Structure 1
Amino acid sequence: MRQSFFPVLTVVAVIVALWYAACVPMNGQWARDQAQRAGVELSFGELVADTLSQQRPRLPAPHQVAVELWNSTIVEEATGRRGLWNTGSLSNRSLIYHGWITLSATLLGFAIGTGLGIVLAIGIVHNRAMDQSVMPWAIASQTIPILAIAPMIIVVMNAIGITGLIPKAIISAYLSFFPVVVGMVKGLRAPDGMQLDLLKTYNATRAETFAKLRWPSSMPYLFASLKVGIAAAIVGAIVAELPTGAVAGLGARLLSGSYYGQTIQIWSALFAAAILAASLVALIGLAQRITLGRMGMDR
């Protein structure tokens, strides 16, 4: 813990320092223009102070993003709870509210993508025809930019009367199934020839070989692919909210921030998405440690 904490803390400190340093040239021109219009000349200290406290900066300072995160979560959530008590509705300005909307689509899409990926991987490993046909198509599907296909999926789903959570979940599943397919195919093929031959000498069936050898051997690969898949699912859910003009979700916060030039709001929504993704990856990592530990594997 000590060996990993200080290097990480050092890297974070360097990033924050560089971030603060970048705010001065990025936001300095606006400060100079305002001072020139007012007929005053800014000293370097005044220039730095102004670039770190603008309401709509090109690059928000770290403390501005932190304050916005605090106000959009703790403060707004407390306001929302009072509103729930008084009016029966939560605050739609809370990042917790918007994060939950995005998380719902993410989890549903991740479940669909994971299930589809595992089924396809099993078929690819056990059927040569699927290996030759499905796997190339799975690879080719990821060459299509998600920004191009997301509006098409939304329009088609809306045309058949399916709106809300399902279209966003489908886009999340589209991004998350591929890492699971690739990881599980690699994992199910991980046992070497001697292990497979040993089970053949015991007259094991395909199902028994799968249950006793291939499936346990694939667990490390499965959890590694799940970590990639859950992060991709969040990206898919946020991207799916952009072409719909959604009024709720982290994608909606990004849209509203871009419409009104609220760069601090945009950055706070981005950090909220990153925190959400990191939390989900950490939960999968915890499940990995518990599962592999009980199976007697290296964690």
Structure 2
Amino acid sequence: MAVTDRPTRTAGALAAMARAVVPVLSVVLAIIAIWYGASVMMNRAWTLDQIQRQNLEMTPSQIIADAMTQERPVLPPPHQVAAEIWNTTVGEPVMRERRGQMQGNPRNLIFHAYHTLWPTILGFMIGTGLGILLAIGIVHSRAMDLSVMPWAIASQTIPILAIAPIIVVVVANLPVLNTAVDQGWISDDTKLLVPKALISAYLSFFPVVVGMVAGLRSPNAMDLDLMRTYSASRAQMLWKLRLPASVPFLFTSLKVSIAAALVGTIVAELPTGARFGLGARLLTGSYYGQTIQIWSALFMAAICAAALVMILGALEKIVLRRMGVRP
């Protein structure tokens, strides 16, 4: 009986996998098809212009082929972006020897991603810690609820492109950091890490505040009354009731926060004059009109964001399983 049921279970598993994969694959193929169509429509203008200028004769298939193989296209087709990502990751070493020392290779996208991820994670940790502390204060203090929460909301209405240069200038003139650089305790690249992490934290703390406030307030009145009948203190109610109840809300907000932190780091790399990082890669590509380089950096940023969110999702499953939550 067990042997007979095995093919049935296998077929059921394959059918379930197909139901999960086919919709996603269909959407991806549709996006790629639209992307190719848009690439041909936007890139063929240059080809048609060259035909008119040089009195050339080209068939429609040749025009389409030329539109998808231009060196600096308006909209790079998917295969050019994929080839650029492959050539700048697998095709280039992460480290190379220079002046007798092993140094990072600026031609490698993984090297640039590393320089973006490090301040992203640091800023994310700062923003998460600040957001949790503010949420606890808002839930337990009406004065903070009426004063801090509106300011936290108002802070997100300031364009990050406007505040990033201000943070960079202020941090660059901090005597502590300047002294550390002069004494050789830290390098200039490490000094640039501070404003990037602060801007990343600025964007990442707000989702954590909102999610944690909702999570800390999620226990119903009966649960709170039960804790009071046990003569639980506010600290005990926070530790034993409010914080466990807020864990699902926390991880949901953390997934939004980590993506915002990555965006903040990339934006911060633009006015800091950073030589390395995905933001610097985007800026270099825009200076020299290298649209394929720009799109490859954008896709690498998306890959990094997806990887960070997946890590948080795996951590969420582990934590919730340890807490006894069953899917």
Corresponding residue for residue 182 of structure 1:
210
Corresponding residue for residue 5 of structure 1:
21
Equivalent positions of 1:45-84 (< 5 A) are 45-77=61-93, 80-81=94-95, 83=97
CA distance in 2, matches of 1:32, 1:254: 29
Give SS of 1:73's match.
Answer: coil
Alignment of 1:214 onto 2:242? yes
The one-letter code matched in structure 2 to 1:277 is A
Contact 2:84 / 2:292 at 8 angstroms: preserved in 1? yes
Corresponding residue for residue 197 of structure 1:
225
The one-letter code matched in structure 1 to 2:223 is Q
Q: Which residue, 13, 25, 34 being the options, matches 2:50?
A: 34
**Per-residue deviation, 1:298:** 4.5
Corresponding residue for residue 94 of structure 1:
108
Deviation track 1:87-145 (CA, whole Å, cap 9, x = no partner) reads: 42231111101000000110000000000000000000011111111001000000101
Alignment of 1:172 onto 2:186? no
Count of aligned positions: 297
Corresponding residue for residue 155 of structure 1:
169
CA distance in 1, matches of 2:99, 2:316: 40
CA distance in 1, matches of 2:204, 2:18: 34
Contact 2:131 / 2:208 at 8 angstroms: preserved in 1? yes
CA distance in 2, matches of 1:5, 1:108: 35
CA distance in 1, matches of 2:100, 2:41: 46
The one-letter code matched in structure 2 to 1:124 is I
Consecutive unaligned residues in structure 2, runs of 5 or more: 1-16, 178-190
Corresponding residue for residue 292 of structure 1:
320
TM-score (norm 1): 0.96
Corresponding residue for residue 30 of structure 2:
14
Consecutive unaligned residues in structure 1, runs of 5 or more: none
**Per-residue deviation, 1:243:** 1.1
Q: Which residue, 125, 128, 134 being the options, matches 2:142?
A: 128
CA distance in 2, matches of 1:298, 1:6: 27
Identity of aligned residues (%): 61
CA distance in 2, matches of 1:166, 1:107: 12
Contact 2:282 / 2:294 at 8 angstroms: preserved in 1? yes
Contact 2:216 / 2:245 at 8 angstroms: preserved in 1? yes
CA distance in 1, matches of 2:85, 2:100: 25
CA distance in 1, matches of 2:153, 2:81: 38
Q: Which residue, 208, 214, 227 being the options, matches 2:255?
A: 227
> Is the alpha carbon distance of 1:273 and 1:44 closer, same or farther for their aligned partners in structure 2, counting shifts above 3 Å?
same
CA distance in 2, matches of 1:243, 1:35: 41
CA distance in 1, matches of 2:134, 2:203: 15
Give SS of 1:88's match.
Answer: strand
Corresponding residue for residue 247 of structure 1:
275
Contact 1:100 / 1:249 at 8 angstroms: preserved in 2? yes
Moved more, 36-45 or 243-252: 36-45
Contact 1:183 / 1:225 at 8 angstroms: preserved in 2? yes
Contact 1:32 / 1:42 at 8 angstroms: preserved in 2? no
TM-score (norm 2): 0.88
Contact 1:31 / 1:47 at 8 angstroms: preserved in 2? yes
CA distance in 2, matches of 1:233, 1:90: 24
Alignment of 1:105 onto 2:119? yes
CA RMSD of aligned residues (A): 1.4
CA distance in 1, matches of 2:57, 2:213: 65
CA distance in 2, matches of 1:194, 1:84: 67
CA distance in 2, matches of 1:3, 1:45: 37
Q: Looking at CA atoms only, which structure, 1 or 2, has the larger radius of gyration?
A: 2
> Is the alpha carbon distance of 1:56 and 1:25 closer, same or farther for their aligned partners in structure 2, counting shifts above 3 Å?
same
